[in-house]
Every structure is written in C-alpha cells, then in structure tokens.
Amino acid sequence: MKSKALMLLAFGAVAMFVAGPAWAGDKKMMKPVNYKVVDGYKIPQSLTGKPGDAERGRKLAINRKKGNCLACHILPIPEQPFHGKIGPNLNQVAERYSEGEIRLRVVDPKVLNPDTIMPSFYKYDGFHRILKKFEGKSILSAQEVEDIVAYMLTLK
C-alpha cells in the first residue's frame, strides 16, 4: 500500500518536471515584449536584446506557417520554386534599409502604411474579430522576429 503511494508521488513529481518547462514556455509566448518605434519609422533595439540567427531566419522566411515571406516576396532562396510578386523584391533589402527599419517592417508594417496587406508579425492587440485560438498570440515570437531581421541583414 505504502509503496504504491510512493510510486504515485514519484510519478507526479516527474510529470510536473516534464510539464513545467512547456508551461513556462507558453507563458512566455503570451507575454509581449515592449518595443519602441523611434521617429515613426524604425525599431532600433532588438526585441530580445540580442542579435538573431540568420540561418534560422532563412528557414522561417520559407516556412508557410511562420514567416511565409516567399508568398509575397522574391528572395535569394533558389531551392524554393515559387516566389510571390505582391511585395517588393527583397534581394538587396539591407542596402535600402537599416536594421531598425527592417525590424519595424517585420514587427508591424501597418505603422508605416495602414493599408498594407503585409501581416504584422509581432502584434498582440488591435485586431478585429480574431479567432479564439489566435488571441494573445503573435505570428512570430520575439526570437523569430530577430532571426528574420538577422537574415534580412545578409541580403545585400
């Protein structure tokens, strides 16, 4: 009898240990990072306080459930057959824009052009009629935004 109770206790502890980090991760996803738009056209500060990873950013740009940038933009990603032409060609985007200007365009391009069809990838509020499952979530996490910004900065 006693050993059964002990086993249950041990099992519970393991379950909590396993569930703990996942739950903490979700919490973090839900809590937006505060960022500052400077002079109305740029976000000079990294959302995570660190530079992103360009290699991961390239993968996110391809991923249809994440950046999906290829749906609307031409990028130097020859292994992907379809590149959209709705937005400007991004091949040399780092020559046209600074890091802060690129970051604002990924985080919330509607600050610059309220009518743009480009999604705001790091936005938590101000949506109308949002699906319940998307409430309080942005398309990209702060880290993913930084990875994409790092990738964009290699395009010159």
Binding residues for ligand HEC, per CB under 6 A? Answer: 61, 67-69, 71-73, 86-88, 90, 93, 96, 102, 105-106, 109, 113, 116-119, 121, 148, 152
Task: Dig out the tokens for 55 from the structure.
Answer: 């290699």
The residue among 1 and 131 lying less far from ligand HEC, judged by its C-beta, is: 131
**Minimum distance, C-beta of residue 133 to ligand HEC, in the bound complex (Å):** 20
What's the token pair of residue 28?
Answer: 């973090």
Looking at the Cβ atoms of 45 and 59, the one nearer to ligand HEC is: 59
Angle, CA 39 vertex, CA 36 and CA 42 arms, to 5° = 60
In the bound state with ligand HEC, the residue whose beta carbon lies nearer, of 47 and 102, is 102
DSSP three-state, residue 100: helix
In whole angstroms, the minimum distance from the beta carbon of 125 to ligand HEC comes to 20
Measured from the CB atom, is 45 or 101 closer to ligand HEC? 101
Output the smallest distance, CB 60 to ligand HEC, in A: 7
Cα angle, residue 67 at apex, residues 127 and 52 outer, rounded to 5°: 110
Of the two residues 12 and 84, which places its CB atom closer to ligand HEC in the complex? 84
Least distance between ligand HEC and beta carbon 29 (Å):
17
Concatenating the DSSP letter of every residue in 109-154 gives: GGGT-TT--S--SS--S--SS--GGGTT--SS-HHHHHHHHHHHTT
Measured between alpha carbons, how far is 127 from 156 in angstroms, rounded to an integer?
A: 34
Contacts of 86 (CB under 8 A, 6+ apart): 71, 72, 73, 117
Q: How far is the CB of 25 from ligand HEC (least distance, A)?
A: 22
